[in-house]
Amino acid sequence: MLEDYLTADDIVPLVPLTDEAWDAIRRSAGRQLAWRFCTLRNLMVHRGRFARDAMGFAWGGIYRTLFVSSIVTTSYRNEGHFRSGERIRGTADFFSGSFALPKSAAEFREIVRLVNLRHHVAGVVRPTSDDGVRVVDGYEAEYAYVATAFIESIRRGLAACGLPPDGPRGRALGWQVATILYQLAGFTGLARMPRDLAAHERFRDAFDRRLRAHPPSPRVRRMAQEIARRIVPVTASQAGSTVHEHVRRHLDPDTREFLFLGDEIPADLERQREEWLRRGAADETLGSIRYRSTSREEIWQRPDVAALLRAYRDAAADNTDDRLIGAILLEAIDAGAGTDSARPLERRSIALAAGEPLIRQGDSIGEMYVVLTASAPLVVLHAPNPAAPPRPVATLAAPTVLGEIGMWRGQPAVATVLSREPNRLEVIVIDRARFEALKHEPGFRAATAAEVQRRLALNSALIGTLLEDSARRTGDKRLRSIAQLVRFLTGDSHVPLDAVIGLPDEATPADCVEALRTQVDAAIAAGNLPPDLERYLREVVATIG
């Protein structure tokens, strides 16, 4: 929370500016930034396109945020490290659009809607009743620091172009930049901010002291370096620099050393930059931003996507976990963006008699269902062995998703899903062929991981406490490893991941799920667990399939 870094007097509510005030400040700041970055050096190096240098310094902020363990692990858990081009293009549209478009413009509203959906899928914001989002408790300071890092990187750029950040003009422009960046954070979930530029600087300094006192673990640092290497060819191409020059000029020294030790830049990154430059040369104009937004708006109106969006909003309104449906919706938007050939998802009506299973334990899984609506609840039953009677594990209301874990593993269903009374379901169906195509998409993998997170989260606090107590008492490294995996997979971005056993640094969320399953099986087989802990761990195995 911001109170961990600032006094109450330094924190104020983030009040959205009026359209007139927003337009005035973005135009004033835009003109001044253009003037300050219009230097002889930039005119020569960038052949007149001096805004590229400003863009490079702005990107320096995103690299600074990779010092923050929770940001890194959130990105890694949701496989954002695989979506380098999509990640950077979306961020570029958001920030460039904020300077070029009125906030009431349809294109800007669509950009914000997509950014908020991505952040919700990542687990750092929650939907609100007015179709907005709000940052989750415990993540506020990190969320604010993202804006802080961008602000400070742009101020470093102004200093490099001859405007001292602590002079009167530097401070006046610095506060305009800060106001814009914190307003943008407000569009995407931040509800409070530092009072003024001096409070902003106190927050920056306090947060940086915390980073120095509690640096990321070696595993998280390797994750951060992996993310940096994936995105730097893209940001360098947008900054109009080689990768080496981009890292040297636009990243602050601490960040440069943290992510690119000794300025070691692999040669293949420069080749990737050249490829991104060829592919994205025409993507930086306002016209291209408008085109991408308009193309996505057409996808939002597609019947299957519109049905997913309604289910997503219904889940949010009922305070149920809607991240999985959001992730599937996001995958549909990303898969179809800019194309006419994306096959719509199949919709189907299913009538179930009382007691008739939709999915039967032990049967092969041939389809995955996104249950949009249901006239009655669905019941999940699980039998630990063929001779044992099945017992209820959960009761599910629409909207929900069923069958994805079994299809992912390619093994029979581990539970039965049925209705106690006649039921009519409206579903979106993912058949085997569609699943085989979708499971290679990062957004879909994130959707599957999100469902595991949801299921584990039902008992995560109790399981985590039992695991950590048992690990402390017995010194069992495997229990400590399981505890961290449970915390990580249920959305705790602050878990250090320094005790996880046998997991590669490049592990995906699916790998984390498999590691958890394997280690839980081994812990149960070894015996000597407290009865409550063993019972909950057995439920974990049943829950994650």
Same domain for 527 and 413: no
Same domain for 118 and 218: yes
Element (H, E) at 542: helix 531-544
DSSP state letters, 202-237: HHHHHHHHHHHHSPPPHHHHHHHHHHHHHHHHHHHH
Residue 202 lies in a domain: yes
Taking the C-alpha atoms of residue 5 and residue 2, their distance in angstroms, rounded to an integer, is 6
Note if the bond before 399 is cis, omega within 30 degrees: yes
Same domain for 463 and 452: no
Residue 201 lies in a domain: yes
Residue 92 lies in a domain: yes
Element (H, E) at 41: helix 40-45
Residue 256 lies in a domain: yes
CB 249 within 8 A of CB 236: no
pLDDT value at position 158?
Answer: 96
CB 89 within 8 A of CB 78: no
Same domain for 436 and 492: no
| Residue 514, CB-side half-sphere exposure with 13 Å CA sphere | 11
Same domain for 142 and 241: yes
Helix/strand/coil for 150: helix
Given 427, 456, 485, the domain boundary residue is: 456
Same domain for 134 and 12: yes
Same domain for 533 and 490: yes
Same domain for 432 and 318: yes
pLDDT value at position 199?
Answer: 97
Taking the C-alpha atoms of residue 49 and residue 52, their distance in angstroms, rounded to an integer, is 6
Could you give the residue ranges of the DSSP H alpha helices within 65-166?
Answer: 69-77, 84-100, 106-122, 140-160
Residue 292 lies in a domain: no
Per-residue pLDDT of the chain (545 residues; tens, 9 = 90+): 899 999 999 999 999 999 899 999 989 999 999 999 998 888 888 777 888 899 999 999 999 999 999 888 877 766 554 455 666 777 777 877 777 778 888 888 888 888 888 888 777 888 887 778 899 888 899 999 999 999 999 999 999 999 999 999 999 999 999 999 999 999 999 999 999 999 999 999 999 999 999 999 888 898 899 889 888 998 999 898 999 999 999 999 999 999 998 767 888 899 888 888 877 654 566 677 777 777 788 888 889 999 988 888 887 766 565 777 887 787 778 766 544 446 788 899 999 999 999 998 888 888 889 999 999 999 988 776 677 778 787 788 899 888 877 777 777 887 889 999 999 999 999 888 777 766 766 556 656 665 666 566 555 555 667 788 888 888 889 988 988 888 787 767 677 778 889 887 777 767 787 888 888 888 888 888 887 788 777 766 666 65
Residue 119 lies in a domain: yes
Taking the C-alpha atoms of residue 236 and residue 317, their distance in angstroms, rounded to an integer, is 41
Place of tokens 């800007």: 108
Q: Rounding to the nearest 10 degrees, give the CA dihedral for residues 351, 352, 354, 356.
A: 160
Q: How far is CA 516 from CA 76, 177, 447, 489, in A?
A: 17, 45, 18, 9
Q: Count of domains in the chain?
A: 3
Residue 293 lies in a domain: no
Taking the C-alpha atoms of residue 51 and residue 358, their distance in angstroms, rounded to an integer, is 57
**CATH classification of the domain holding 413:** 2.60.120.10
Confidence (pTM): 0.74
Same domain for 305 and 186: no
Same domain for 470 and 376: no
Question: What domain range includes position 415?
Answer: 301-456
Same domain for 282 and 206: yes
Taking the C-alpha atoms of residue 285 and residue 538, their distance in angstroms, rounded to an integer, is 55
DSSP state letters, 467-530: HHHHHHHH--HHHHHHHHHHHHHTT-TT----S--S--TT--HHHHHHHHHHHHHHHHHH----
Same domain for 481 and 360: no
Residue 315 lies in a domain: yes
Given 287, 321, 340, the domain boundary residue is: 287
Given 386, 421, 456, the domain boundary residue is: 456
